[in-house]
Amino acid sequence: MKLLSALYFLSISIHLSECYKILGLFPYPGKSHLDVIKPLMKELSRRGHEVVVVSQYPLEEPMQRYTDLSLKGSFPQFLEVYPMNNFNPIVSRILYQYLNVFFSGKLSDEYCEAALGSKVIKNLLESNQTFDLVFHEPFLSDCLLALNEKFKAPIMAITTSVMLPWNNERFGNPDNPSYIPTLWMHYSDRIPFLERVENFLVAYGHILWFRMKQKHQDQIVRKHLGEDHPPLSKYGNNMSLILVNTHFSLNLARPLVPNVVEVGGLHITNAKPLPKNIEKFINESTHGVIYFSLGSMIKGHTFPQEKREAFLKAFARLPQRVLWKWENETMPGKPDNVMIQKWMPQFDILSHPNVKAFISHGGLLGTTEAVHCGVPMVVMPQYGDQHTNAKAVEANGGGVVLYLKEATEETVYQSLKTILEPEFRAKAKALSERFRDRPMSPMDTAIYWVEYVARHKGAPHMKTAAVDMPLYQYLLLDVLAFLAAIILLFSYISYKILSLVFRSVFAKKKVKQN
């Protein structure tokens, strides 16, 4: 009996550990996106799956069962220096929240054109390779999904931000703008009336934009792959499951259908030892350390001088030391308690128990790292999803928002004093506990669902009927119209009957009176 049980469990483990061949299509030139996706692709290869990845950023060190199909050089290097957003708030909102997708759309056309016209894609299509699963990031474009006309594999998606408006409808996922803030908007889940109007218009405006953009990119696909090629919507609207780089404890609670799975913190690993000079600086700080970094795309020399001076004067008033990721060799007016360095290991610093606060631009990678470590934040959002992330952090007690336009010596000082208070640090620790309290790690969750979709040949049973419903059915407009017609008909008949009754009664009274 024991032998039979052992053989049974062995057969189950062999079945569950079946190896798959996976194609990853990630042409977007933003490195931060690959910083989320690449750890998953590497872990899949470590666990025995064969992974082929099309991207702009090949591995620095080759791995077994991991093949890079590099697009590096096929597209101009992505913008590395992003100026600090010091615009008027109204101008800033128009540029970075309403029109951001339109500027990004031009970028997506360019990298689609470059990728589909590259020798890498041509060689892939001419190869005899087959795949069990195609992985895709449905960020600004589905153009490389056109390759699946050849491979005909189940499609799985991963998004490195909160769900984009046009992805919700493709998975039949509820997206109610009355309490779900649209990406790029600086709202929490408590939205006043006028802001709800704005949130609604932006959400559905972006959905219409994406539909038009997809039709335009159909032309790019047909230019490179043939005039009879099916539209991109054939693939984009038939994805099996999407992994989302969020978690309800941080990015606000919202309803999710079964094939939308949260894996926020996917890129987080164990902290490594710090460089000796940084470790010494942190350890010797009696009152703790504040870490200041605005990510890889905002460079030190773009920091407005008057704002830099406001921060330096505020830092000079604090007993804490400050680690500032600063790309220039020198910083005029730097106080003694500030250390600058061109590169710093962010997660390893945030993991140190003597780091008390983090000044950030609100990128989702750094935000999830700080939340994971329980470090409170002062968030200065600049563009993209940073406004949404900043409001989510503030709403959940993980930090405060400070807009660059409002940054003075006093506002910087008071913001830092607020998050350094023991009560506020306790809130950040509680948020961290909620964020980390899961049945499986984000990586194990992602791996499980990748293998699940591959095992069940695309897992079509997870897809809700809402995906294939026309909008009027999804919103029950036909039912409401039918019920309204019944009510109107009933009201009309009642009116006619009552009119006849009243006329009859009044007619009899008139006869009697005569």
Provide the token pair at 333.
């007016």
Contacts of 64 (CB under 8 A, 6+ apart): 45
**SS3 state of residue 454:** helix
* Residue 460 dihedral angles phi and psi, to the nearest 5°: -65, -20
Q: According to the model, what pLDDT value does residue 12 have?
A: 40
* Residue 297 dihedral angles phi and psi, to the nearest 5°: -95, -10
Nearest to 63 by CA among 80, 78, 48, 83: 48
Angle among Cα 377, 380, 383 to the nearest 5 degrees reads 130
Provide the token pair at 133.
């699963």
**SS3 state of residue 150:** helix
Q: According to the model, what pLDDT value does residue 511 have?
A: 63
Distance CA 28, CA 22 (A): 18
Distance CA 300, CA 190 (A): 35
Rg (CA), the chain: 28
* Mean pLDDT per 10-residue interval, the chain, length 514 residues: 43 59 93 93 96 94 94 68 57 67 81 92 93 94 94 95 90 91 82 90 89 92 93 92 95 93 95 95 96 80 83 95 90 91 94 96 94 96 86 94 92 96 96 96 97 95 90 90 96 91 75 62
Whether 75 and 106 have beta carbons less than 8 Å apart is answered as no
Q: According to the model, what pLDDT value does residue 15 have?
A: 45
Pairing of strands 260-262, 133-136: unpaired
Neighbour order of strands in the sheet with 399-401:
338-341, 321-325, 289-292, 355-360, 377-379, 399-401
Q: According to the model, what pLDDT value does residue 83 have?
A: 56
Nearest to 274 by CA among 328, 335, 354, 336: 354
For residue 118, the number of C-alpha atoms closer than 13 Å in the C-beta half-sphere is: 22
Whether 237 and 467 have beta carbons less than 8 Å apart is answered as yes
Q: According to the model, what pLDDT value does residue 427 have?
A: 96
Nearest to 163 by CA among 133, 184, 145: 184
Q: According to the model, what pLDDT value does residue 330 have?
A: 84
Other CB atoms within 10 Å distance of the CB of residue 490: 10
Q: According to the model, what pLDDT value does residue 503 have?
A: 81
pTM for this entry? 0.87
Q: According to the model, what pLDDT value does residue 47 have?
A: 96
Q: How far is CA 467 from CA 46, 257, 457, 463, in A?
A: 34, 11, 18, 7
